[in-house]
Structure 1
Amino acid sequence: MHTLFKKVIWMLKKKLFRFGAGNWRKPRDPCGGVRQGHVSVSEDFLAIQQLADRGAKPWRLNPVETARKVGIEELGFDVADVFRFESYRLDYDSGLNRAQVKAQHGSCLFLIELYQPVRRGTTGIWAVESVTLLNE
């Protein structure tokens, strides 16, 4: 009976406290698994631009809405997360318009960087380039 009790306690520790092989494991990611770093979402930007030119996917013309939609569908953000515009700038080296959007995901604050891959200005679509955690 004593051995069975030890096994039950061990299994509870392993399951509830993530205890295994004599070492405590690192706690779960407080940022909920949001993908970070350079973003590589396979998208056909020319086709998306053509759709936007015909009035489809109007959210692609707004960097905040693009960050929200792509962030939720592809990057691990939640529908309850708050996205807000931070800044625009022209990258003179590449000739691309860039935008920054901040996203609050639980206690984690992220910077989402976007660019216009096809056309600059109000009629150009936006694409997510990178996601960076700003706080820990």
Structure 2
Amino acid sequence: MSRIEEKIDNNLRKGPAGFGMLVAMFVLVFLVGAGAGIFGGIFWGKKIANKNNAKSETANSGEVKGETNTNKSKTPVTDGSSVQEYTVKAGETLFTIGLKFNLPWTKIAEYNGLSEDSVIKQGQVLKIPADGTTGAASSESKTFDINTSQSNQIQSQVDAGSLAWYLDPILVAKDQVPPTFSINKDDQFSLKSKSFTEGIAIVEVIHGTKIYQIKLIQPVKKGENGIWVCESVSAA
């Protein structure tokens, strides 16, 4: 017989008093166990609540240990070298500047918020895209050899009243450019710019789906009476 059973048996033998002590003992054991359960529940409940609050605060702060918060906005960086500035000289146009930097004039116009009808002035500062480089050759470009002696002879004839068509950049372009790049006289030629100050003219020609720019210069004298000759042609 175990000690607990012996105590129960002894208390029962003592009669009503022993039975009362036995009941009191059971009540005490019950209360101690219940109290431990209640206080234990409160303790663990608080611990779990504190843990959940800590998780909630961590989640709200956007920081998780061992992970990097990548949901951050990035400030765009402007590369100052993406464009260069160019100051317009007297008599220059978008077309002549485009030829100088081997860029389509439309691209320069787009960078500066200009249209085909826009007039640029001497001293105006333009933004030139970084892919425009002075002296770079186009994939389709050709430079013509200009014979100074022959140019002087033609100028003399024009001054004498003959060969007047040399005073028209479009007629000269039609005569001297074909058959370069398969361009022919029946293609659409149009004058885009002409400066007697610089002695430069730009003629545009549409050949099929391609557009070419022809640069003409006045090699002998500048002005209304100076002859024109083709200096170069390149794909726009």
Q: TM-score range by the shorter chain?
A: 0.5 to 0.7
Give the letter aligned to residue 47 of structure 1: Q
- 1:33-48 matches, within 5 Å, as 36-40=141-145, 42=147, 44-48=150-154
Residue 97 (structure 1) aligned with residue 203 (structure 2): no
Secondary structure in 1 aligned to 2:199? strand
CA-based RMSD of the aligned residues comes to 2.1
Larger CA Rg, structure 1 vs 2 = 2
Residue 122 (structure 1) aligned with residue 122 (structure 2): no
Distance in structure 2 (CA, Å) of the matches to 1:125 and 1:41: 12
Alignment TM-score, normalising by the size of structure 2: 0.37
Give the letter aligned to residue 142 of structure 2: G
Secondary structure in 1 aligned to 2:166? helix
| Conserved 8 A contact 2:196-2:224 | no
- 1:1-136 matches, within 5 Å, as 36-40=141-145, 42=147, 44-72=150-178, 75=180, 76-89=182-195, 96-134=198-236
The match for 2:58 is none
Give the letter aligned to residue 207 of structure 2: H
Secondary structure in 1 aligned to 2:170? helix
Distance in structure 1 (CA, Å) of the matches to 2:199 and 2:161: 21
Once the two structures are superposed, residues 58-84 of structure 1 have per-residue CA deviations (whole angstroms, 9 ceiling, x without a partner) of 110011111111123x63421211110
Structure 1: stretches of 5+ with no match in the other structure: 1-34
Equivalent pairs counted in the alignment come to 95
Give the letter aligned to residue 46 of structure 1: N
Deviating more after overlay: 50-59 vs 117-126: 50-59
Please identify which structure carries the higher helix content: 2
Point out 4+ residue stretches in structure 1 off by more than 3 angstroms.
none
Give the letter aligned to residue 191 of structure 2: F
Using the aligned pairs only, state the percent identity: 28
Cα gap change, 1:90 to 1:56, in 2 (>3 Å): closer
1:41 Cα deviation (Å)? 5.2
Give the letter aligned to residue 87 of structure 1: S
1:42 Cα deviation (Å)? 4.3
Cα gap change, 1:86 to 1:48, in 2 (>3 Å): same
Alignment TM-score, normalising by the size of structure 1: 0.62
Q: Which structure has the higher relative contact order (CA within 8 Å, separation 6+)?
A: 1
Please identify which structure carries the higher strand content: 1
Secondary structure in 1 aligned to 2:177? helix
